Amino acid sequence: MPGRHHILRRRRAKVVATLGPASASAEMIETLHKGGADVFRLNFSHGDHAAHAQNLAWIRALEKKTGHPIGVLADVQGPKLRIGRFSGGHVTLQKGQAFRLDLSPTPGDVRRVQLPHPEIINAATPGMNLLIDDGKLKLRVDHVREDHLETTVLVAGRLSDRKGVNVPDVMLPIPALTKKDREDLAFALEAGVDYVGLSFVQRPEDVVEARELVGGRGWILTKLEKPQALVNLDEIVALSDAVMVARGDLGVELPPEEVPLAQRRIVRKARELGKPVIVATQMMESMISSPTPTRAEASDVAGALFEGADAVMLSAETAAGQYPLEAVDMMDRILTRTERDEEWRRVIDDRPLAPETNSAGAIAAAARAVADSSGAKVICAFTHGGSTALRIARQRPTAPILGLTPIIETARRLALVWGVHPVQIPPHDTMTAAVSSALQTARREGFATWGDEIVVTAGVPFNTPGSTNALRVATVSREQPSPAGDEK
């Protein structure tokens, strides 16, 4: 199909690019996709439904044009905790001064301001800290009253209207989905997004609630940005379809020295459970206003790969920056170069994961072993809901993975998964037909040519969700029927 070969990636890790004013056009979306963006993020903290619908329409038109499935992430905002307003628009707080947070809507001054969140007051305890304006100011709670908190300023500075409040020391009795989130979620799922980014998750029940609302219409991508979520990390990751290391809020609520350790722990747990994991926030922050990243940022992107992440994400760099294409191109270059390095491969191979304790997991591990020992050019994973491709990707094989599915929604979701090149194909009823289709697709997509071996995995019977229970090795021969458009 026209357009497929020129977007064949030279790497296994994926790139997520956020759309915004700097990238919201059909031309720029196509340019970013060709440049390396595998998944596009729609940030529902900004923009209206009409703008998001237009971006999604452009993405689907591009998908039709290229014949290549593209993933779309709808990232819902989650609860936003903010102070009220000041009579003069702002105040300057001094270190050591007393400052009150109360429920009164009266504009504040240097002595007090509204905190329109009784949940915080009810959950507060003396000695706990409140962080304001992304941690630029820090208050210690001294006394908890029925309708207000008496605090002392520990880190001083200028404080203006409606700045955000972070509460790192306590689990708040606040649901992860607000009324706005539910409306955004209903719109996004009806529009046909592939993943839903769930913010403000503190407990496993938050994911369970979201899953009931989603009803199988998309993958739930849990953003790990609250310290409380780390307490329940195993269960939260197990309940999610994918996760994100959301280092923005996580970096506000955790001490800076704890964030790299939390990132490694989250990536390791996601890999262990076979869930795609994105590392996000400030990966190339300097490229908002610079055509090149800092050396530290380049190392950060490469480091995420060494840890085993499936994908890395660009936020403001592509949404509002001056150099969106350069940011995607640079991320693509860093990922590609890192994966070519023998040290990267050695690190990945030195941390193998034990196969899942079931037949499907054993066959996925065998697929990698057979591909490695035979020198197979590609592993073709027939999958209905995506589980076969996910199991093989968990093994981090040397060979790329062709995720072959008759379900377009599955193909789009697999766009996020490490090493998987998703392709929608017609359904098959027999292993013989599947192997023939795999051989044709591997040639057409540029993964194999005459004489090359491929590995084929599938669940039999076909076209029903279930375990992977079949593995074949096949060779591309000259007698193999040529796919449409292939040269004789």
Find the farthest-apart pair of alpha carbons in the chain and give their distance in angstroms, rounded: 83
The verdict on whether 11 is a catalytic residue reads no
Task: Pull the structure tokens for residue 216.
Answer: 């199988």
- From the list 12, 41, 394, 443, the catalytic residue is 41
Long-range contacts of 478-484 (CB under 8 A, 24+ apart): 478/450, 480/436, 480/439, 480/440, 480/443, 481/436, 481/440, 482/440, 482/443, 483/440, 483/441, 483/443, 483/444, 484/1, 484/444
- From the list 9, 34, 60, 82, the catalytic residue is 82
Q: How far is CA 149 from CA 101, 164, 193, in A?
A: 5, 17, 42
Task: Pull the structure tokens for residue 23.
Answer: 């990238």
Measured distance CA(252)–CA(167) in Å, rounded: 10
The verdict on whether 281 is a catalytic residue reads yes
The verdict on whether 368 is a catalytic residue reads no
Measured distance CA(67)–CA(19) in Å, rounded: 21
- From the list 12, 112, 223, 413, the catalytic residue is 223
Measured distance CA(23)–CA(62) in Å, rounded: 14
Measured distance CA(227)–CA(67) in Å, rounded: 41
Neighbours of 324 (CB within 10 A): 27
The distance in angstroms from the start CA to the end CA of the chain is 16
Contact 263, 313 (CB under 8 A): no
- From the list 18, 281, 318, 441, the catalytic residue is 281
Task: For helices 324-340 and 295-307, give the axis angle rounded to 10 degrees.
Answer: 50
Neighbours of 300 (CB within 10 A): 21
The verdict on whether 294 is a catalytic residue reads no
Measured distance CA(434)–CA(420) in Å, rounded: 18
- Active centre residues (catalytic): 41, 82, 223, 281
